[in-house]
Every structure is written in structure tokens, then in C-alpha cells.
Amino acid sequence: MIHTLRVLLYILLFCFSVIVMALCAVRIHYTTHLSRFDPLNYGVQFYDPIVVELLVTSILTLFWAPFIARTIHSRIEHRFINSFTAELIGLFIFFLLWVVGAGIATHTGNLPDVHTHWGNLSSCWAYSSCKVLTAMLAFAWLSWLTVLGLFVTSLLFAAANKAFREPMHGRWDRRATLYGDTPMRNLP
């Protein structure tokens, strides 16, 4: 049951990442192709570095999520790369990437000073560019929340089963799991 939940969360994370990637691409296209009559930044083209960070994070997540979901679902076993420790390290890195991206983007969106281009997002929902930013923030936070859920779930499962060095699929028969001809675990 827990393994099915983890696979479903990875699929959900993949979907959220696709959405964030698309929204980031739309935002970058809009800001790098401004008309000189556009009131945003007085028509001067620019890009938001935090949007690029979210774009890179979502692209990396697009590769990570299916790899791990397939590993869990197919019960793939390779020494370290498919262990709970490797999964937790990867999830911790994605946790940091998503929380930094979403946090800075949220902070940027609520600052009324001259150095930000977003302003207060709650006052501009009539414009499509504002809707894109709002949706991007929402899905960035949902991605972070999904990564947090995956991290906590995997950490608790690995801790409860003393399985940090075990395969991340979490379904094993201690007597049957082998790496080639070498038993993976000590037999009782």
C-alpha cells in the first residue's frame, strides 16, 4: 500500500513539474518578447532569474520522478543508486530547490519596491500574465509539498524498517534478494 502511494505521489509530482515548466516557459517568453508599448518594465525585455530556477528545478524533477517511480514499481535493485538513502538524498535536494524557488518567487511577488517586476499579485488577476505567475506559484508550492510528503513517507518507512541501505522499492524477501550471485542481506 505504501509503495503504491509513493508511486502515485511521484506521478503527481511529475504532473506538477510539467505544469510549472510550461508556466515558466510562458513567463520567460512573455518577458523576453515584450512590446515596447507594454507597461511591464516600460517595455524593456528582461527575465526573472527565479523563474529560470523554477524552470530548471521542474526539468530536473521531470527526469527524477519517473526514474524513481519506475524503480519502485518495477522493483529495480542496484546497490546504492536505488537505495532509500539515495532516494532521501535526492528528495532533500529537490526539497531545497522547490522551497527556495517557491519561497523567493512568493516573496518577490509580494514586494512593492522598484526591484521587482511582479508587484502584488492579488491586485492584477484581470491580466493573463498575472494569472500565469499566480498559477506558477501555486504549482511550485504544490510540488514542494509533494516532495515533502515523499521525503517524510520514505524516511519514516526506512527508519521503521531499518532499511536505509535497502532497495527503495521496499518490498523484499530477505532470503531471495540477490545482486548477481551475492546475497544482499545477511540471512537469519
pLDDT digits (tens, 9 = 90+) for 55-66: 999 999 999 999
Residue 30: the pLDDT is 81
CA 33 to chain centre: 28
Residue 108: the pLDDT is 62
Which three three-digit cell numbers place residue 50?
A: 527565479
The chain-wide mean pLDDT, for the chain, equals 79
The ranges of the chain with pLDDT < 70 are 38-45, 75-80, 108-127, 168-188
105-147: pLDDT as tens digits: 887 655 454 345 566 666 666 667 778 888 999 999 999 999 9
Tell me if 26 sits within 8 A of 132, measured CB to CB.
Answer: yes
